[in-house]
C-alpha cells in the first residue's frame, strides 16, 4: 500500500477533545464529524485538508477519550495516514480498526515539516519526504495488524473469518 | 510439580483469559472477555459495527452493559436518538444490563456498585475510563467502538500484554489528601504518557488503607498517564466492598514477589499535599498552596473520578453551614442514583442546597462539556473530574483546573482556588 500527500504538522499530546470536541458527539455521522475536525486546534482545518494528505505529529497523539469519532473524522476529512513519535493506545487501536494507517517514527516526526510532500510505503514502513529528499523508517507494524489494514479494518477482517460467531 | 514463572497480577489475569500458562509483555494475545460496556456516545457506533460484522446475537446477553450516561437525560434530539439506538438494541438482544435514567448513573461508578464487574475479571469498555475497575483487582481497559462491536459479537479481543510499572505509596496521608491527590501527583511526576501502553500497579501501605472510593479514583486516572490499565491487588477492603454485591464467582489474583516490572517508583505520601492540575494537561500539577490567586467562575464536584458517596461526604464536611461565594456557581453531581439517594438520607443534599449549590441528576454532564454546566469563553472552572484539556468543558478559550472534592468545596466558598484549611482547619481524610 502506497500513499502520497501534503503534510499537516501538529505538536505533542494532541487529545481527542482537540481532534473532535464532545459538543459534536451527539451523532456519529463521519461526514458531520469531519466538518469539525481539529477546529479548536486549527480553524478551518477541514476545509483546507485535501484527500490523501498526511498528518505528522509529535508524541502521544490521540490521548484522552476513547471516541472512535476522532480517527473517523480525520479519515473522512481526507487524512490518509498519521505519522507520530508515539500514539496513545486507544487511538492506535481505533485507527487500525477503522483502516487508518498509523506509523511511529520519532525521526520523521522531528524532521518532516508542514507543507512537505511525503510518500509512505506501508508494507515496508518507509516514509519518503519528497520535499527534503529524505527517507525515514517507521517501527514495523506487527503482521497481525498489517493483515487488519490489508483487510480494510477490523469489521471486514472479522467478516472474512466468520469462525467466531454464534449464529442464531 | 513445576512452578509457574513469576507474573504480575495483570499478567496473571491476561494469561488466565488467554488459556495459557504464561504471557510475556509485548505479546499479542487473544483473550476471553468477562464483561463489556458501552455508553450513549460509543455504543451506537459499536452497534453499527456489530451489525456490519454480520453478527446476529451478542456473545452473552448478561455480560454486556449499555449505559446512557454522557448526554442524559437526553440534552437534545440527536442525543435522544443515540439513546434510542441503545434502548432498541438492548430490547432486540435481550440485554440484561441496560440502564435507563432513574436506575442509572455514570458507568464507571455504576458497574462496580451493582457488582457487575468483579475481581479477576477481564473487562473491555468503549470508554477510556474503563480502567477504573482495576481498583477491585480486575484487568480492565478502554477501547473504541469497533472493538466493542467485535467483542459484543465474539466475546473475545486481541490485546498486547502490557509491561507493568509498580507505584508504591508509603506513609500516612496528610489532612485533606485523598486518592485524587496521589494520582495527580503521580501523573505530574511521570507525565501524560509516562505509563503509555503499560499496566500501572498501585501498592504500598497507603493503598492498603485507602478506601474503595480513593482506589477507584486512582485506577480511573491511569489513562491520564497513558496507561492501559490501573490495578490494585484485592484485600480485605476490596472483599468487604465486593461480598454483598457479587452475584457470580470471582477470583483473587496477586502479583508474585519476583514478578518483573519495567519500573518501580516510590512515593513518600507524607510529602504530598492537596494537588491541583492547571490547564491544559492533567500532568500540569502543583501543590494547592503554590497556585497563587486563581479566581474561578464555576466549581464542579462529580464525575466517574470523584462523584462517589465519600467524595460528597468530604464536600459536605467543608460546605456545612457555609455559603458559596457569590462570584461563582457550584454544581454537584452524585455519580449514581444510589449515591444520590444515600446523600439525601445522610443530609448531604440539604447541606449542598443551603450552601447555594445546584444538584444535577447523575450524568457525565459538564465533565466532557456535554451539558449541565458548560463554560463560556474566558471562564474558569475547578472540577473534581479527570481531564483539563483545552475546551474540555466548553468554549475553546475556557479553562479547567482539577482537584479533589475538599479543595473544590473550599474554593467554592472562597471564590478562588484554596487549601481546605483556609475554610475549615484539619479535617478527615478522604
Ligand atoms: S464522567 Fe467524564 S470522564 Fe467519566 S465517563 Fe463521564 S465523561 Fe468520561
CA–CA dist A26, B71 (Å, integer): 8
Q: Give chain B positions within 8 Å (CB) of A25.
A: 41, 70-71
Confidence class for position A144, pLDDT limits 50, 70, 90: confident
CA–CA dist B77, B354 (Å, integer): 34
Q: Ligand 1 center to residue B197 CA distance, Å?
A: 21
Closest CA to A61 of A52, A72, A71: A71
Confidence class for position A124, pLDDT limits 50, 70, 90: confident
Q: Give chain A positions within 8 Å (CB) of B81.
A: 27
**For B369-375, which contacts have Cβ atoms below 8 Å and span 24 or more sequence positions?**
B369/A17, B369/A21, B369/A22, B369/A23, B369/B393, B369/B394, B370/A22, B370/A23, B370/B70, B370/B71, B370/B75, B371/B71, B371/B75, B372/B75, B372/B331, B372/B333, B373/B298, B373/B300, B373/B329, B373/B331, B375/B297, B375/B298, B375/B399, B375/B400
Q: Cell 452493559 identifies what position? A: B65
Tell me whether residues B57 and A155 touch, CB distance under 8 A: no
Q: What is the pLDDT of residue A165?
A: 53
Closest CA to B70 of A15, A25, A71: A25
- Residue ranges of alpha helices (H) inside B248-404 are 303-306, 309-319, 337-345, 348-355
Tens-place pLDDT, residues A9-54? 999 999 999 999 999 999 999 999 999 999 999 999 999 999 999 9
Tell me whether residues B392 and A94 touch, CB distance under 8 A: no
Q: Which atom of ligand 1 is nearest to the CA of B335?
A: 1
CA–CA dist B219, B216 (Å, integer): 5
ipTM of the complex model: 0.94
Q: Report the Cα B292 to chain-centroid distance in Å.
A: 28
Residues 6+ apart with CB under 8 A from A18: A38, A40, A41, B389, B390, B391
Q: Give chain B positions within 8 Å (CB) of A59.
A: 193
Tell me whether residues B28 and A142 touch, CB distance under 8 A: yes
Distance from CA of A118 to the nearest CA of B (A): 27
Q: What is the pLDDT of residue A167?
A: 45
Dmax of chain B from CA atoms?
71
Tens-place pLDDT, residues A48-94? 999 999 999 999 999 999 999 999 999 999 999 999 999 999 999 99
- A33 to chain B, any CB pair closer than 8 A? The answer is no
* Regions in chain B scoring below 50 on pLDDT: 429-430
Which residue's CA lies nearest to atom 5 of ligand 1? B304
pTM above 0.80, yes or no: yes
Tens-place pLDDT, residues B205-230? 999 999 999 999 999 999 999 999 99
Find, in chain A, the residue whose alpha carbon is nearest to that of B125.
Answer: A66
Q: How many CB pairs under 8 A join A and B?
A: 149
Question: Do the Cβ atoms of B73 and B99 come closer than 8 Å?
Answer: no
Tell me whether residues A89 and B154 touch, CB distance under 8 A: no
Q: Is B243 exposed, middle or buried (0-12, 13-18, 19+ CB in 10 A)?
A: exposed
What does the block give as the cell for B413?
466558598
Q: What is the pLDDT of residue B1?
A: 52
CA-to-CA separations, B293 to B188, B288, B300, B416, in angstroms, rounded: 21, 10, 19, 7
Q: Is A2 exposed, middle or buried (0-12, 13-18, 19+ CB in 10 A)?
A: exposed
Q: Report the Cα B427 to chain-centroid distance in Å.
A: 24
Among the partner-chain residues B70, B71, B389, the one whose CB lies closest to the CB of A64 is: B389
Compute how many other C-beta atoms are within 10 angstroms of the C-beta atom of residue A12. 17
Q: What is the pLDDT of residue A142?
A: 81
What does the block give as the cell for B425?
482547619
Residues 6+ apart with CB under 8 A from A163: none
Residue A164 pLDDT > 60, yes or no?
A: no
Ligand 1 pocket test, pick from B41, B127, B394 with the greatest ligand atom count within 8 Å of Cβ, gives: B127
Tell me whether residues B149 and A28 touch, CB distance under 8 A: no
Pocket of ligand 1 (CB under 6 A): B 70, 106, 108, 127, 129, 303-304, 364, 367-368, 385-386
Ligand 1 pocket test, pick from B38, B72, B108 with the greatest ligand atom count within 8 Å of Cβ, gives: B108
Interface test with A, best of B25, B82, B132, B193 (most A CBs within 10 A): B193
Tell me whether residues A154 and B392 touch, CB distance under 8 A: no
φ/ψ of A61, rounded to 5, equals -70, 135
Residue A143 pLDDT > 90, yes or no?
A: no
Which residue's CA lies nearest to atom 6 of ligand 1? B364
Amino acid at each position: 500500500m502506497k500513499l502520497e500527500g501534503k503534510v499537516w504538522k501538529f505538536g505533542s499530546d494532541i487529545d481527542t477533545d482537540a481532534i473532535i470536541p464532545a459538543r459534536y458527539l451527539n451523532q456519529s455521522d463521519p461526514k458531520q464529524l469531519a466538518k469539525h475536525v481539529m477546529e479548536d486546534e486549527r480553524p478551518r482545518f477541514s476545509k483546507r485538508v485535501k484527500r490523501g494528505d498526511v498528518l505528522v505529529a509529535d508524541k502521544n497523539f490521540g490521548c484522552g477519550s476513547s471516541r472512535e469519532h476522532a480517527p473517523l473524522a480525520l479519515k473522512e476529512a481526507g487524512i490518509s495516514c498519521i505519522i507520530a513519535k508515539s500514539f496513545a493506545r486507544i487511538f492506535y487501536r481505533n485507527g487500525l480498526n477503522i483502516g487508518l494507517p498509523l506509523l511511529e517514527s520519532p525521526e520523521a516526526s522531528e524532521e518532516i515539516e508542514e507543507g512537505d510532500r511525503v510518500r509512505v510505503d506501508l508494507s515496508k514502513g518507509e516514509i519518503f519526504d519528497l520535499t527534503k529528499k529524505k527517507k525515514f523508517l517507521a517501527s514495523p507494524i506487527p503482521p497481525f495488524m498489517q493483515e487488519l489494514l490489508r483487510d480494510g479494518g477490523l469489521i471486514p477482517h472479522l467478516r472474512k473469518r466468520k469462525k467466531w460467531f454464534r449464529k442464531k | 510439580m513445576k512452578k509457574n514463572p513469576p507474573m504480575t497480577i495483570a499478567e496473571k489475569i491476561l494469561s488466565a483469559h488467554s488459556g495459557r500458562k504464561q504471557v510475556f509483555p509485548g505479546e499479542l494475545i487473544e483473550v476471553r472477555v468477562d464483561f463489556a460496556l458501552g455508553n450513549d456516545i460509543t455504543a451506537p457506533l459499536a452497534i453499527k459495527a456489530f451489525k456490519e460484522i454480520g453478527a446476529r446475537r451478542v456473545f452473552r446477553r448478561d455480560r454486556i452493559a449499555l449505559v446512557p450516561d454522557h448526554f442524559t437525560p437526553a440534552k437534545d434530539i440527536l442525543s435522544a436518538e443515540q439513546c434510542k439506538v441503545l434502548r432498541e438494541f438492548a430490547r432486540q438482544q435481550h440485554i440484561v444490563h441496560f440502564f435507563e435514567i432513574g436506575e442509572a448513573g455514570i458507568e464507571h461508578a455504576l458497574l462496580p456498585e451493582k457488582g457487575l464487574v468483579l475481581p479477576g475479571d477481564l473487562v473491555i469498555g468503549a470508554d477510556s475510563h474503563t480502567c477504573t475497575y482495576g481498583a477491585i483487582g480486575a484487568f480492565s481497559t478502554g477501547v473504541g467502538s469497533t472493538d466493542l462491536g467485535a467483542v459484543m459479537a465474539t466475546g473475545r479481543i486481541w490485546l498486547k500484554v502490557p509491561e507493568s510499572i509498580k507505584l508504591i505509596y508509603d506513609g500516612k496521608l496528610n489532612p485533606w489528601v485523598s486518592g485524587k491527590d496521589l494520582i495527580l501527583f503521580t501523573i505530574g511526576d511521570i507525565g501524560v504518557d509516562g505509563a503509555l501502553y503499560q499496566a500501572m500497579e498501585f501498592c504500598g501501605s497507603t493503598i492498603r488503607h485507602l478506601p474503595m472510593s480513593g482506589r477507584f479514583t486512582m485506577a480511573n486516572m491511569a489513562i491520564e498517564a497513558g496507561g492501559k490499565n490501573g490495578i490494585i491487588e484485592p484485600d480485605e477492603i476490596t472483599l468487604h466492598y465486593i461480598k454483598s454485591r457479587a452475584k457470580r464467582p470471582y477470583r483473587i489474583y496477586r502479583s508474585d514477589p519476583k514478578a518483573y516490572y519495567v519500573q518501580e517508583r516510590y512515593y513518600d505520601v507524607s510529602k504530598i499535599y492537596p494537588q491541583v492540575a492547571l490547564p491544559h494537561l492533567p500532568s500540569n500539577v502543583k501543590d494547592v498552596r503554590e497556585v497563587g490567586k486563581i479566581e474561578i467562575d464555576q466549581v464542579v464536584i462529580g464525575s466517574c473520578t470523584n462523584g462517589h458517596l465519600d467524595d460528597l461526604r468530604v464536600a459536605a464536611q467543608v460546605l456545612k453551614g457555609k455559603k458559596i461565594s457569590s462570584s461563582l456557581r457550584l454544581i454537584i453531581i452524585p455519580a449514581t442514583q444510589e449515591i444520590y439517594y444515600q446523600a439525601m438520607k445522610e443530609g448531604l443534599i440539604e447541606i449542598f442546597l443551603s450552601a447555594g449549590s445546584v444538584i444535577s441528576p447523575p450524568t457525565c454532564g459538564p465533565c466532557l462539556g456535554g451539558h449541565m454546566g458548560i463554560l463560556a469563553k474566558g471562564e474558569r472552572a475547578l472540577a473534581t473530574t479527570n481531564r483539563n484539556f483545552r475546551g474540555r468543558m466548553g468554549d475553546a478559550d475556557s479553562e479547567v483546573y482539577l482537584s479533589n472534592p475538599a479543595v473544590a468545596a473550599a474554593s467554592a466558598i472562597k471564590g478562588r482556588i484554596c487549601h481546605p484549611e483556609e475554610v475549615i482547619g484539619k479535617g478527615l481524610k478522604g
